[in-house]
Amino acid sequence: MALSPDGRYAYVTSIDDGGVSVVDTHTTIAVGSRPTAIVFSPTRRLFYVAQPDAGTVTAVDTASNTVTGAPIPVGGQPGALALTPDEKRLYVADSAADSAAGTVRAVDMAGPTPAVGPPVQVGGAPMGLAVVPDGTRVYVADSAGGTLAVIDTATGTMTGAPVALATGAFDVASARDSRRLDVADAGADAILVVDATTLTVTARVALPSTPRWLAVTPDGSRLLVTLPSVGSLAGRHRRSRPPGGPDPGRERAAWGRRLRRRTPRVGHQHRLQLPDGS
């Protein structure tokens, strides 16, 4: 699921019926078989959706909610997507059947037609991608090996070897200042706060269930986390370290002592409150 830049619509992929549902109108956009990840291109008023069965990425016009142009043949089984801040390059993760052969491809979107670049071998099963706001690096979360890999966007190559951080690094999100990352550790029911430069864990934030996908609100102030096993969506404020304030590495490990549950039409929403009231 992804929110439109203005927050008006939520676009949800539906594997069973091969479409993308727009929550407030309950319409379905036919894009093909088993669509998965979505990423928005705000200035072009598009979103891109990955289709692992077809090995393609499809562009959808958000004004008309219709497919635009031909599917982009990226090959393999495309899953996670990430777009550079200037929207000129789309990164596509391929979690191949061979768990040791995971790759990431860059698609040049600046020309008249998309140009698919060569695969960058990252190994494992890359399930999450995050481009830092300054556009210089792409972080790749490997759910099989629990590692983070870093791709230099200038050279199109991996920087060093993947770093083992988690039991299962399912997704990754970048802070607006490019200095920290949040990693969904699917094997430990936790969010890992990671220094983006050293790739070291500075805090572990416990969750009531296994996290999967991450999303950051447009202003960068809130992190949203899906908890599929309990049908829930959790949210948490992302604060920068204040002058003279505590080290982010000493963040509280719990998401809060009080849990308030709302029961909407489908599943549950959990609002989790930290001890300081946030």
Question: pLDDT tens across 168-184, in order?
Answer: 899 999 988 888 999 99
Which backbone phi and psi does 29 adopt, to 5 degrees?
A: -100, 115
The rounded Cα 164 to chain-centroid distance in angstroms is: 19
DSSP-assigned letter for residue 230: G
pLDDT tier at 100, thresholds 50, 70, 90: low
Dist. CA 37–CA 39, nearest whole Å: 7
Provide the residue count of the chain: 278
For residue 53, pLDDT beyond 80: yes
Which backbone phi and psi does 203 adopt, to 5 degrees?
A: -165, 155
- Give per-residue pLDDT as tens, 234-265: 888 776 443 333 443 444 333 433 333 433 33
The rounded Cα 166 to chain-centroid distance in angstroms is: 16
Q: Are 84 and 73 in contact (CB under 8 A)?
A: no
